[in-house]
Homo-oligomer: A and B are copies of this chain.
Amino acid sequence: MKAYNVNDIRERVKNISIVGRLDFVFTNAKAIDNADEESIVWIKKITPNQLLRIQRTKAKYIVAETSISKEINLQKSKCLILSDNPKLTFLRILKAFFVEKEAYHTHHSAIIDPLAKISEHVTIGPNTYIGKSSIGSGTILHGNCYIYDHVIIGENVTISAGCVIGSAGFGYAENEDGEYESFPQLGGVQIHANVEIGANSTIDRGTLTDTIIGEGVKIDNLVHIGHNVVIGKNSIITANTTISGSVKIGEGVWIAPSASIINQIKIGDNSTIGIGSVAVKSIPMNEIWNGFPAKPVNEYLRQEKFLKKQVK
């Protein structure tokens, strides 16, 4: 195992200050409670509980908030890597020291349509299929994915195993005999740069226009995104969420796990939808909505409190 020291950190990671003892080495990154003497670890917030864990950990390198120096004297026993955003600092240390970048490659079992446009510097995993679609540079598709035709995937996108992108949207009209005839789905899917998509998620193609996943959007596992959905930059869609057709989601939105959003509505920029919440009308910008049906969080909490009081 390779050993690193405080100079290596200074060289590779920015926006930090380093205090305490400078003569330690680290060879691994671990969770604080099961670290060894060569570990680098982190704490998110300075709480009494976290300070206790620091005193108990064997790790010598600790990434923490800058203000920790006021709370506890570790100058002689630890090397403190301090910043305003220790989570970000720690993840950059992990990336700089412990993540090996694999060379781009296409697995021999991948199946690629002759009319697909695959950039250079792309990874395509085992058994992944790519139709008449295009894949941008730096993009990584893991195995067992199925990319239909009419999908445009931008640069530096990561798609985990088992995803289906570009399947026909769910649209039907009832005919004279009470049967449903399927509405042809002729649009595509655009996935912009730096998007990440979790395992077994599905994104349907648009009906006449495209389904669009904006730059930097992060999508978790088992998420359903219906036809004609548009998701703005840097929004977060967590696991098992259902986004029905034609929903417009703004930028910087956070959707908690297993939420469900009815078709056609809009979610404003920087808003949050709580876990399991069922959004049935549009949500303005900068709000937190929660509940079934989703409502502003204060209203939700007052309802909860009211009910609790009634049945005591």
Binding site for B on A (CB under 8 A): 15, 29-31, 34, 85, 87-88, 91-92, 94-95, 98-99, 107, 109, 111, 125-127, 129, 142-144, 146, 148, 158, 160-162, 164, 167-168, 170, 172-176, 178-184, 186, 194, 196, 198-200, 202, 204, 207-209, 216, 218, 220-222, 224, 226, 234, 236, 238-240, 242, 244, 252, 256-258, 260, 262, 275-276, 278, 280, 291-293, 299, 302-308, 310-311
B183 touches A87 (CB 8 A): yes
Copies of this protein, total: 3
B222 touches A222 (CB 8 A): yes
Given contacts A15-B176, A142-B148, 9 further A-B pairs with CB under 8 A are: A88-B174, A127-B144, A129-B144, A142-B146, A144-B144, A200-B222, A258-B260, A260-B275, A303-B307
Interface hub of A94, A180, A209 (most chain B Cβ within 10 A): A180
A93 to chain B, nearest CB (A): 9
- Chain B hits for A196, CB < 8 A: 182
A143 to chain B, nearest CB (A): 5
A218 to chain B, nearest CB (A): 5
- Chain B hits for A204, CB < 8 A: 198-199, 221
A221 touches B170 (CB 8 A): yes
B172 touches A236 (CB 8 A): yes
B127 touches A111 (CB 8 A): yes
Q: Which residue of B176, B198, B292 contacts A291 across the interface (Cβ within 8 Å)?
A: B292
A132 to chain B, nearest CB (A): 12
Residues of A contacting B: mostly = loop
A253 to chain B, nearest CB (A): 12
Q: Which residue of B29, B144, B183, B304 contacts A293 across the interface (Cβ within 8 Å)?
A: B304
A154 to chain B, nearest CB (A): 14
A295 to chain B, nearest CB (A): 8
Which residue of chain B has the shortest Cβ distance to A95 in the bound complex?
B184
A99 to chain B, nearest CB (A): 5
CA distance A172 to B167 in the complex (A): 28
- Chain B hits for A302, CB < 8 A: 311
CA distance A209 to B28 in the complex (A): 12
B234 touches A239 (CB 8 A): no
- Chain B hits for A172, CB < 8 A: 218, 236
B242 touches A260 (CB 8 A): no
B92 touches A181 (CB 8 A): yes
